Every structure is written in C-alpha cells, then in structure tokens.
C-alpha cells in the first residue's frame, strides 16, 4: 500500500519572492519513513527563492506510511509544492 497524506501544511510564501513576483513549483525527492514522517528531503527543481519554504512545509507533512504485507515500510517518493501569486 502506498503512503497516504494525513496532514498537509501550506508553505509560507517568502516575502522577497512575493515582492519579486516569483512563482513556480518546487520538486524534491524524499522518503516517507515507517512512522509516516517526511525525511531525507533533496530539492532538485524549482526557483531558488522558494526552495527553503517548500522544504520547510514538507517537513511538517504527515502520512499513514506505506506498507508491505501489513508492515509499515519506508517509501521513496517525489513531492511537489506549487507557489502561485493571485
């Protein structure tokens, strides 16, 4: 079974990025561990000005962990956080 998100935290839009009208999607590799925590985050794409805020939000997400034969397992995944100005 794949991990299922149970807690989502929206990122805080960095003031400098907002003022500069920077938007986009930050993508990162991460592991959802056996306790459902997001660990080992590695950003690989997205505006530099938004990467720290995205990673900080993702660190707070919680999941029902993936499982194999009923036993929780760590799962490697790709996560994305989008920033869009109104």
For the chain, which domains are there?
4-83 (3.30.2420.10)
Q: Which two tokens stand for residue 23?
A: 């938007």
First-residue to last-residue Cα distance in the chain: 37
Cα–Cα dist 85/69, whole Å: 43
* Model-wide pTM > 0.85: yes
| Degrees to nearest 5, angle at CA 40 with 37 and 41 | 95
| Tokens at 21, concatenated | 């009208």
- Torsion over CA: 48, 29, 54, 80 (sign): positive
* pLDDT for the residue numbered 25: 98
**Mean per-residue pLDDT for 42-66?**
98
């Amino acid at each position: 079974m794949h991990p299922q998100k149970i807690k989502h935290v929206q990122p805080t839009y960095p003031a400098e990025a907002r003022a500069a009208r920077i938007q986009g999607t930050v993508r990162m590799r991460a592991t959802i561990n056996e306790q459902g925590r997001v660990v080992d985050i590695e950003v690989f794409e997205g505006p530099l000005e938004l990467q720290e805020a995205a990673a900080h939000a993702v660190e707070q997400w919680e999941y029902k962990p993936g499982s194999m034969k009923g036993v929780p397992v760590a799962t490697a995944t790709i996560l994305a956080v989008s920033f869009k100005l109104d």
